[in-house]
Amino acid sequence: MSTFLEPADPAPTAAERLHIAGLHSPSDAVLSVRDLNVSFNSENGAVNAVRGVNFDLMPGKTLGIVGESGSGKSVTSLAILGLLPATAEISGSVRLKGKELLGLSDKAMCAYRGNDIAMVFQDPLSSLTPVYTVGTQIIEALTIHNPGMSKSAKETRAVELLAMVGIPSPRNRLKAFPHEFSGGMRQRVMIAIAIANNPRVLIADEPTTALDVTIQAQVLEVLHKAQEETGAAVVMITHDLGVVAGIADDIMVMYAGKPVETGSVDDIYYDPRMPYTMGLLGAVPRVDVVEKSSLVPIDGIPPNLLHTPTGCSFAPRCPLVTDACLDGEPSLSPVPGTGYHQAACIKSGSLGGDVDVHEIFSAPPVPVSRFDLIPRGERSTVLELKDVRKHFPLTKGALLKRRIGTVKAVDGLSFDIREGECFSIVGESGSGKTTTLLEIMEFHKDQDGEVIIGGISNKQAADAKTKSAMRREMQMVFQDPTGALDPRFTVYEVLAEPLQNAGFSRPDIKKRIMELMNLVGLQPDHVNRFPNQFSGGQRQRVGIARALAVNPKLVVLDEPVSALDVSVQAGVINLLDKLRAELGLSYLMVAHDLSVVRHISDRVAVMYLGKIVEIGEVDRVFDNPRHPYTRALLSAIPVPDPQFERTRERIILQGDLPSPLDAPKGCNFATRCPVFAALPAAKQEKCLTLEPPLEAVRASAAAQALAAGPVPPSDQQFACFFPDGELDEDMLVVHKTAEPHAP
């Protein structure tokens, strides 16, 4: 191309020569990837999944690869390990300690896999073989790469590994089968297997996505420890900018199979130069700040990788797009004024740190509901639960079923939702959130407790007419937008179903459907499409439109955005916010992502083992959590702010939710409580024998003195005897390595 402009460099650099000679200096990268390209065949033609990935991984460092689904993150990792199907076409170079890995036969790769380079997969439930004990599987990894190792040495090493990843009584657990472990524990075992042979490179592909937040914090901690012990370099693949903020040294942002921005973690988070990165950062709600601005939505969907883009691949979604952007795909080039930071944007020079993301992406203004001005007590109630219980008997024995215990999935739940407000329930899986939703959606008159929907109690719901009147007041939006839409229905049929059922006439149905499409921001001519012709975010919009079809007062949202990508998630959250304001809807939301809850909710309830342990206004509860469990949950949420992440104090809860059989008699949380662990024995007795009631937060004496009149009773309630108790030091973790860039 421009050979005559810049002097051609016929002689490769020193490092290149060493690479070619198969040698490498000790300071060199442990894993170096050059110009990696992967393409697959599909029914539509060849898909270029990865297009030119380059990176060098230094020993002991962590590289975070971030991007939305389909950006080629996982394919990159699988290509490095040589795990892609034979039909994939791979080109480029992957050198591990200077040795080329691409092109090696499967057999030759086996010498490296699990030895020098190891992987932790996303789903711990399916990554372990159910028919072998955990010990056998760890020892298997050791045997393959150390044939000479004695049996007892292997066993000692396995025990050592299990202890390292924090599994209690490792010697006994060696003989346990995978099903005897919880998800978090299995992921620990996976990490133990991965580090068994002291790998130089550890690739973790979304290692915590399938886990609860509290367990996620534990596993990230284990991963961090494993890295410290083995000195391995880690490639961390994730879509969650929060997860990598605390542990990565360098970040690579991928889009449409190409890295679009690389740099140190501080560069990326505090000084992003590529509009896509800026959008991603603006799209993530924060759990730690009161936020009264809308999120940044990145409209559109990633480009089709069937065709080689002629311009910048992000141009169709970029708000700053100009004609110059469409002219050739920009390559990664250094950001002016910085050393290491690279961005693939022709405007990277002008996009400094002081540019406001909300302005660039024209984030919508915060919608204001007509109910916002009316005090909560004066609004009418749309849903009320009074002492709802759902107990499942636990039986044993094949022929004669003996009742050996009770699972209290929901145990005496009471709350109410007023018009125009969003009420969220949060908690780990197994805390009874979903059962609560089911109890509400599948109301019937024989329930234990009372469910009042729009003024009608479930006790009156005997005939079909009352039932359908109640159903009309309340509709549901599901977690998985793909599963919630019948694949054989067009959008028109999907939206017509509730309307037909409500007895609308044909012309009315048509009119209403057009209204709905407009309301949720879909094209009216999309009604003839099938769900598989939409992107995830659009499908969720169809799901929301279906829920709104019969004009309900209350919409039940079951993890409405957890299946969506960050950028799409922001658009759906903004839509929900807008609909609530414009239509005066109330929401009942179940979510595990506390940042989303904080962004969208007015009130929140924290559930633990079927009981509400803390309830109140979201800002009060999140800023001033009283129950130790709420505190632990909040501290487990990763925040997309590297500085904050490095210095923050975390409460790492020990273990998992206790089995319902050995649930404590007194406070449910006592077995894992960081306050309880630090209490003197006399006070512990109280926690173990008495059940703490839900009590309102009393204003402190000082606050009472400050306020002239009587202090109004607070909305925040919690269930703990010793909210101000000291926390147990074993459960507190602070990363002392505040300076990650030490050489």
Partner 1 sequence: MTNLNAVDPAAVAQDAHLESADVVIAKSTIIFRRFMRNKTAVAGLAVFLGLTIFSFVGGFFTPWDKETIDPFNIGMPPSGVHWLGTSQAGIDLYAMTVEGTRISILIGLIVGLVSVLVAAVYGCTMAYFGRKVDKVMLFVLEALIMMPALLVVAVATSGGGDGLKKNLPSWLLLIIVLLVFSWMGTARLIRSMSMSLMQRDFVKAAQYMGVPPRRIVWRHLVPNIGSLLVLDITRGVTGAILAEVAFSFIGIGIKVPDVSLGVLIGGATSQVQTFPWMFWVPLTVMFLLTGSLAMMNDGLRDAFDPSSSSVGRAKKNSAEKKSK
Please report how close the Cβ of residue 471 comes to partner 1 at its closest, in angstroms. 4
Tell whether residue 456 is a contact of partner 1 (CB under 8 A): no
| CA torsion through residues 206, 210, 211, 212, sign | positive
Query: Would strands 649-651 and 474-477 be described as parallel, antiparallel, or unpaired?
Result: unpaired
Total residues in contact with partner 1, by rule CB under 8 A: 59
609 binds partner 1 (CB under 8 A): no
When the beta carbons of 250 and 577 are compared against partner 1, the nearer one is: 577
Of 582, 560, 557, nearest in space to 569 by CA: 560
Per rule CB under 8 A, is residue 522 in the interface with partner 1?
yes
Footprint on residues 314-373 left by partner 1 (CB under 8 A)? 316-317, 362, 364-365, 367
19 lies in the site for partner 1, by CB under 8 A = no
Residue 299 engages partner 1 in binding (rule: CB under 8 A): yes
Question: Which C-beta is closer to partner 1: that of 309 or that of 430?
Answer: 309
Cβ nearer to partner 1, comparing 300 with 658: 300
Interface with partner 1 includes 183 (CB under 8 A)? Answer: no
- Nearer to partner 1 by Cβ, of 233 and 550: the residue is 550
Contact residue for partner 1 among 300, 454, 584, 658 (CB under 8 A): 300
Strands 31-42 and 89-96 come out as antiparallel
x/- map, 380-419, partner 1, by CB under 8 A = ----------------------------------------
Q: Which stretch binds partner 1 (CB under 8 A): 49-57, 175-183, 246-254, 298-306?
A: 298-306
User: CB of residue 483 vs partner 1: minimum separation in angstroms?
Assistant: 4
| Residues 443 and 453: beta-carbon distance below 8 Å | yes
**Binding of partner 1 by 501 (CB under 8 A):** yes
The H or E element that residue 488 is part of is none
Task: Read off φ and ψ for residue 480, nearest 5 degrees.
Answer: -100, 105
Residues in the chain: 743
Write each residue from 467 to 486 as x if it is in contact with partner 1 (CB under 8 A), else as -, in one continuous string: xx--xx--xx-xxx--xxxx
Q: Does 521 bind partner 1 (CB under 8 A)?
A: yes
By CB neighbour count within 10 A (0-12 exposed, 13-18 middle, 19+ buried), where does 650 fall? buried
As given in the structure block, the two tokens for residue 718 are: 């919690």
Q: In angstroms, rounded to a whole number, what is the distance separating the alpha carbons of residues 46 and 463? A: 57
Of the pair 407, 440, the CB lying nearest partner 1 is at 440
Place of tokens 């210095």: 647
Which among 249-257, 285-293, 394-402, 519-527 is the span making contact with partner 1, rule CB under 8 A?
A: 519-527
| Measured distance CA(341)–CA(266) in Å, rounded | 10
Separation of alpha carbons 221 and 170, rounded Å: 18
Reading phi first (left if > 0) and then psi (alpha if -120 to 50, else beta), residue 387 is in left
DSSP 601-646: -SEEEEEETTEEEEEEEHHHHHHS--SHHHHHHHHHS--S-HHHHH
Residues 530-589 that bind partner 1 (CB under 8 A): 532-533, 535, 538, 543, 546, 550, 571, 574-575, 578, 582
Q: Is the backbone of residue 100 left (phi > 0), alpha (psi -120 to 50) or beta?
A: beta
Residues forming contacts to partner 1 in the complex (CB under 8 A) are 39, 41-46, 87, 299-301, 303-304, 306-307, 316-317, 362, 364-365, 367, 441, 467-468, 471-472, 475-476, 478-480, 483-488, 497-498, 501, 518-523, 526, 532-533, 535, 538, 543, 546, 550, 571, 574-575, 578, 582
